[in-house]
Amino acid sequence: MIDNKILNKELRKKVVDMVIAGKDGHIPSAFSIIDIITLLYRDVLKFDASNPGWLDRDYFILSKGHGCLALYVNLHQHGFISDRDIDFFCKKGGILGEHPDRTKVPGAEASTGSLGHGLSFAVGIALGLKIQEQNNRIFVLLGDGECQEGTVWEAANVARNRNLGNLCAIIDWNQSAMQLMPVDDMPKKWAAFGWHVLVVDGHNESELSNAISSIEYKKDNIPTVIVAKTIKGKGVPMLEGHGIWHHRIPNEQEYSQIMEALS
Amino acid sequence: MSKSTRQQFADTMLALSHEDKDIVVMVGDIGHGMFKPFAEVYPNRYYNIGILEPTMISMGAGLAASGLCPVIHTIAPFMIERAFEQIKLDFCYHKLPGNIVTVGSAFDYSNLGCTHHCYGDFALLKTLPSTEICFPASPIEFDQLFRQSYQNTQLTIYRIAGTSHGVNFNPEDIIFGKGICVHEGDDVTLVATGPHLKTVLTAKNALISKGVNAEVIYIHTIRPLDVELIRASVEKTRKVVVVEEHMRSGGLGDDVLRVTYDIPGLKFHSVSIPDIFVTEYGTYEELCESVGLTPQALLLSINDWFES
């Protein structure tokens, strides 16, 4: 098995190459969540890349759609999408844009981009599968800035009151939200809505893995949220934090610096 | 007392659910009494979700993604206007099927004021490429239209009228996507949707006394629109009036004009709600009178069409 840390560096490089080729994309947002998504696809989710609609699959919904490069490279890694798909990121005739499109991308469960939709959609899926007495698990990854959207808390309220224990939300707590609203105790907020709350280092494989495997995923239980402390741009010091890199394309020199940092 | 269209909605859900185990009804904290029999028989397929319309719509799309058939119900402005982006993205962009059933369209809740009015819903929904829209204004229409369309592959919106037009159609005459020629005539085409079929029939009778024989077309399905029926009638009469409780902008009148504009000598008039907030109080009938949705206003508007 490839060491996960090495794999994540290679996937990070692929993200950067896609942004260079496509001349668009959110690198730091992808780097904030790529360790989480890579772990999910490698060790957690049940899926069949040759049959993305397999009824027994687990669902993964990337609610913060602008982090989609982290999803795309994992879908490519596991055979959902092709080399050509990657090469045509943000190009005419391609299926991969700056936000995932459920109707185009095999393995993408939701077309996200407008923040505050993914959890509500996931709650509907979780309720639907519970009604049908199915055992699929539903994972949904949200940004902490996204949690400023009111619909997130509408959905959190419903999920708890309907006991959707088959649902696990993961919060990319990279403190983007605190730039505008510094009072932002994410674990307490979710606890106040009655969820089972786990707090982990979102770049620490064993912490993440232990948290995910500790959940029972019982259909009639309280839902769980993993608040993952992350760093936007994690892996390349010059990209880390909340500065100019949110939606910037590296020039030739910067590209070399980024690749050097990832080598 | 005859059954309301809304009660028929609840009755149809219960009847269909005996056969179709995929139906899941979600309401936004309205209609509990009406749906009590349904909830008692199918407790795991009826959910009073709460007062959170955007999430209720997204959840409906999620139910559809899980393989179920969502039927989502609450008051029109809160569902169509507040949760419009959820309808647009989570159902339409996702290409997921589902059913939205509204009450309180136009100014059915007249005294509750503008917060509870919704007369721009056709216009909004028509911007969404894949929606189907119908406006049943009698119990049999709801039952027939729902049965014919609820399992289709896109989102269907049923705008339940608060008032019936009082016409008893035969079930076999109610076909989703097809208009109904209620009265044949040669001199002018009167197109009505919703309760204002009654308004148009009153106007038709008044016109007969003046020697004008109006053709009356009833439209229960706004989209897909029965273009053939409308165009054939207007090609014959060269004059058309559309009567609807919807804002002038973006309503059925706009659609009728779009499909008839090139008919030589066309005369067109829209009897509808002006592009304003209706801020008056009073009964539904009083507000209709206030905005000009009456047989008298209709007749006055086309008076000069028949002066010799």
Using a CB-CB distance cutoff of 8 angstroms, which residues of chain A are in contact with residue B64?
A: 124, 128
Determine contact: B257 vs chain A, CB below 8 A: no
Inter-chain CB proximity A151 and B44 less than 8 Å: no
Q: Whole-angstrom Cα distance, residue A2 to residue A41?
A: 14
Q: Which of B52, B59, B89 sits opposite A124 (nearest CB)?
A: B59
Q: Which of A114, A125, A154 sits opposite B65 (nearest CB)?
A: A125
Tens digit of each residue's pLDDT (9 = 90 or more) over A100-135: 999 999 999 999 999 999 999 999 999 999 999 999
Mean pLDDT over the full length of chain A = 95
For residue B223, give the 3-state DSSP assignment: strand
CA distance A155 to chain B (A): 6
Determine contact: B20 vs chain A, CB below 8 A: no
Q: Whole-angstrom Cα distance, residue B281 to residue A97?
A: 50
Using a CB-CB distance cutoff of 8 angstroms, which residues of chain B are in contact with residue A111?
A: 89, 93-94
Residue A1 has pLDDT above 60, yes or no: no
B152-160 mean pLDDT: 97
- Place A220 in a pLDDT band, splitting at 50, 70 and 90: confident
- Residue B228 confidence (pLDDT): 98
A176-190 mean pLDDT: 94
A231-247 mean pLDDT: 92
Residue A182 has pLDDT above 70, yes or no: yes
A84-108 mean pLDDT: 97
Q: Whole-angstrom Cα distance, residue A134 to residue B67?
A: 11
- Place B2 in a pLDDT band, splitting at 50, 70 and 90: confident
* 3-state SS, one letter per residue, for chain A: CCCHHHHHHHHHHHHHHHHHHHCCCCHHHHHHHHHHHHHHHHHHCCCCCCCCCCCCCCEEEECCHHHHHHHHHHHHHCCCCCHHHHHCCCCCCCCCCCCCCCCCCCCCCCCCCCCCCHHHHHHHHHHHHHHCCCCCCEEEEEECCHHHCHHHHHHHHHHHHCCECCEEEEEEECCCHHHCCCCCCHHHHHHHCCCEEEEEECCCHHHHHHHHHHCCCCCECCCEEEEEECCCCCCCHHHCCCCHHHHCCCCHHHHHHHHHHCC
Q: Which of A55, A129, A158 sits opposite B49 (nearest CB)?
A: A158
Determine contact: B83 vs chain A, CB below 8 A: no
Which of A59, A151, A161 is the mutation pick for testing B, counting most B CBs within 10 A?
A151
Residue B308 has pLDDT above 70, yes or no: no
- Place B307 in a pLDDT band, splitting at 50, 70 and 90: confident
Using a CB-CB distance cutoff of 8 angstroms, which residues of chain B are in contact with residue A55?
A: 67
Which of B25, B55, B56, B96 is the mutation pick for testing A, counting most A CBs within 10 A?
B55
- Residue A243 confidence (pLDDT): 84
Closest C-alpha to A251, from A13, A16, A12: A16
Residue with tokens 């049965």: B147
Inter-chain CB proximity A111 and B66 less than 8 Å: no
B33-61 mean pLDDT: 97
- Residue A246 confidence (pLDDT): 86
User: Range with the lowest mean pLDDT among A83-97, A209-223, B229-243?
Assistant: A209-223
CA distance A40 to chain B (A): 21
Residue A3 has pLDDT above 80, yes or no: no
Q: Is the pTM of this model over 0.90?
A: yes
Q: What is the residue type of B210?
A: K
With pLDDT > 90 as the criterion, what percentage of chain A qualifies? Answer: 93
Q: How many CB pairs under 8 A join A and B?
A: 93
Residue B1 has pLDDT above 70, yes or no: no
The DSSP code for B21 is T
Q: Whole-angstrom Cα distance, residue B289 to residue A189?
A: 51
Residue B51 has pLDDT above 60, yes or no: yes
Inter-chain CB proximity A121 and B52 less than 8 Å: no
- Place A219 in a pLDDT band, splitting at 50, 70 and 90: confident
Q: What is the residue type of A119?
A: L
Q: Whole-angstrom Cα distance, residue B163 to residue B108?
A: 8
Q: Whole-angstrom Cα distance, residue B138 to residue B12?
A: 13
Residue B183 has pLDDT above 60, yes or no: yes
Which of B22, B24, B58 is the mutation pick for testing A, counting most A CBs within 10 A?
B58
Q: What is the residue type of B95?
A: K
Q: Whole-angstrom Cα distance, residue A166 to residue A238?
A: 39
Determine contact: B86 vs chain A, CB below 8 A: yes
- Other Cβ atoms closer than 10 A to B55: 32
Inter-chain CB proximity B66 and A123 less than 8 Å: no
The DSSP code for B154 is S
Q: Which of A55, A121, A132 sits opposite B62 (nearest CB)?
A: A121
Q: What is the residue type of B103?
A: V
CA torsion A112-A117-A122-A125 (nearest 10°) is -90
| Domains, chain B, ordered by start | 5-159 (3.40.50.970), 171-303 (3.40.50.920)
Inter-chain CB proximity B66 and A157 less than 8 Å: no
- Place A4 in a pLDDT band, splitting at 50, 70 and 90: low
Q: Whole-angstrom Cα distance, residue B36 to residue B41?
A: 9
Residue of B nearest to A100 (CA): B94
Quick one: how far is CA B291 from the chain centroid? 19
Pairing of strands B180-183, B214-218: antiparallel
Q: Whole-angstrom Cα distance, residue A184 to residue A1?
A: 39
| Domains, chain A, ordered by start | 4-261 (3.40.50.970)
Using a CB-CB distance cutoff of 8 angstroms, which residues of chain A are in contact with residue B54?
A: 120, 150-151, 154
Mean pLDDT over the full length of chain B = 97
With pLDDT > 70 as the criterion, what percentage of chain A qualifies? Answer: 98
